[in-house]
Structure 1
């Protein structure tokens, strides 16, 4: 637990220091000129995002958690988002979701499958978005030297989806190969069979979730699209509020690349990596001071606010259970 707290503190320091170093003293002037009404509107957009995700969770559960109200689902989403932002690599998010759903009688395999389908819809949205950005780059004849910003994430997303499809299609073969590797690593037979049993339960729950009615899966995907379109409009509005202009497609791409780079920092919320990458991409377009101010406001809305608003909800709903789960993992 101490490591998580220290990582969070280090991440917050890095997230604040990078924009301040890049923007210098002029960043204060940029921040003062930003409209308060626009900031409040963007915070309201985040509440809309949480509600969209809460409705998506309810549809994914399909009654497996009993009568889950929108308010209860909203609190689960906020607690999970806080855990994602507060732990390295977002590892606390799935644990929190599993713990909260377990209280409602949802088995761990089912909760893991729901989380996996949720992430799968995100991948499909980002792939669709990148295809749209690529079409925009070609039609508008934007600097093609920046094509790697579109090509690299697209390649990674396509590779992830292909690997997932191959894994599900050749599940038995994958289990056989995995079993042999674990045997060579001298993993006990009982442990190997236990892992195989849990993976089988997860696979069956995943297939069960993907077999939901097509209209329901389509509605879940539409909610996913609405969530990310609203959230990824924040940086565009921030730049507009500072009196600058960038096409929405480029702010979408900047956020995608920045958040992916943030995962490489292994700090909570991608702190440090996200700020450094987004500042580097925005500076040539709107200048260092405006870029630094944009990044600081954007991260406040999409990162600091998640921590501030989600912390009390997390403590009330999942705090004790999360600490017990982390303690068990450390004892193993």
Structure 2
């Protein structure tokens, strides 16, 4: 119940922050927004789900026959809902692995598929940020923009280096974590079981990396399409409101806002993402425009995921797992 209350409070904060920022002008901005543009943005999210379904099936490799196309789409929608409804997005990987396990995909393989999916995302953001950095060299940037670029670059490259270090020194990591767990009086059998699961995951991840090069290229191409579409929503919202902000800066604002939402450990970053994006966007386009754009952006990329993905989640996994995910942080 407390997790559901936290989600409700987050949703209220997510709506109230733009409303308070925009004041009385926000309603006139929202009512003047072109309806065809809004329908196009919702269509982009539907296309994102289709793209992620193809990406999931490619990563499953020879095990994709265990999951039908329609069920693959349902898995993607259910996982997106769990990602948006749980603190820090913790429910997303659990949902996708639980659904894959129900169709005969081993947990180690399911976790490897998710890890490969995340690695592909990380590579996309590194490439996108590199492109923005090159573009910024020919632009006159304010201190705010320089700070945003520096923070983004450090965090992404730090994430990539961490992944490489874990893969390279996983045996040392297992030994050190075993000693640390022993000091916490964790049973030897439990430590061995966790170490065995980690080794099984690494083996499955290695198998996933051994997929044909053409398949991996397709996965990365689909990743680029997915994030390119999803991170264009705020740009289109601003254009529909008459604001002239370059796509690169709208991309950077979304990346920082959603990262702040992740660190806040609120469901879907509700409240934190709005507050961060408002602080970054308002000086560029004005308070009322920023507030209206944030409401439209989150309606398309957050509330829509909850409204449409929720019934799919309940249909595929039922209420017991939903309650388990909502109580995850209480354990």
TM-score range, shorter chain: over 0.9
CA shift for structure 1 position 163: 1.5
Residues 104-138 of structure 1, C-alpha deviation per residue, up to 9 Å, x if partnerless?
10111111111111111111111111111111111
Q: Distance in 2 between matches of 1:330 and 1:235?
A: 31
Residues 256-277 of structure 1, C-alpha deviation per residue, up to 9 Å, x if partnerless?
0100111122111111111011
Q: Distance in 1 between matches of 2:250 and 2:13?
A: 22
CA shift for structure 1 position 321: 5.7
Counterpart contact for 1:65–1:106, Cα < 8 Å: no
Runs of 4+ with deviation above 6 angstroms: 327-332
Distance 1:193 1:329, change over 3 A: farther
Q: What is the match of residue 57 of structure 2?
A: 58
Counterpart contact for 1:137–1:144, Cα < 8 Å: no
Q: Distance in 1 between matches of 2:209 and 2:7?
A: 35
Distance 1:113 1:300, change over 3 A: same
CA shift for structure 1 position 144: 5.1
Distance 1:328 1:247, change over 3 A: closer
Q: Distance in 1 between matches of 2:273 and 2:249?
A: 16
Distance 1:274 1:328, change over 3 A: closer
Q: What is the match of residue 273 of structure 1?
A: 272
Q: Distance in 2 between matches of 1:153 and 1:128?
A: 12
More moved, 198-207 vs 46-55: 198-207
Counterpart contact for 2:15–2:295, Cα < 8 Å: yes
Q: Distance in 1 between matches of 2:282 and 2:301?
A: 20
Paired residues for 1:27-106 under 5 Å: 27-106=26-105
Counterpart contact for 2:26–2:289, Cα < 8 Å: yes
CA shift for structure 1 position 156: 1.3
Q: What is the match of residue 295 of structure 1?
A: 294
Counterpart contact for 1:81–1:93, Cα < 8 Å: yes
Q: Distance in 2 between matches of 1:175 and 1:5?
A: 36
Q: Distance in 2 between matches of 1:126 and 1:330?
A: 28
- After superposition, the CA RMSD in angstroms is 1.8
Counterpart contact for 1:20–1:292, Cα < 8 Å: yes
Are 1:185 and 2:184 an aligned pair?
A: yes
Q: What is the match of residue 245 of structure 1?
A: 244
Counterpart contact for 2:86–2:325, Cα < 8 Å: no
Are 1:210 and 2:209 an aligned pair?
A: yes
Paired residues for 1:195-234 under 5 Å: 195-234=194-233
Q: Distance in 1 between matches of 2:204 and 2:327?
A: 25
Q: Counterpart of 2:65 in 1: which secondary structure?
A: coil
Q: Counterpart of 1:270 in 2: which secondary structure?
A: coil
Q: Counterpart of 2:243 in 1: which secondary structure?
A: coil
TM-score, normalised relative to structure 2: 0.96
CA shift for structure 1 position 145: 4.9
Q: What is the aligned residue count?
A: 331
Counterpart contact for 2:86–2:326, Cα < 8 Å: no
Q: What is the match of residue 309 of structure 1?
A: 308
Q: Distance in 2 between matches of 1:140 and 1:62?
A: 44
Q: Counterpart of 1:140 in 2: which secondary structure?
A: coil
Q: Counterpart of 1:139 in 2: which secondary structure?
A: coil
Distance 1:145 1:296, change over 3 A: closer
CA shift for structure 1 position 328: 10
Distance 1:144 1:95, change over 3 A: same
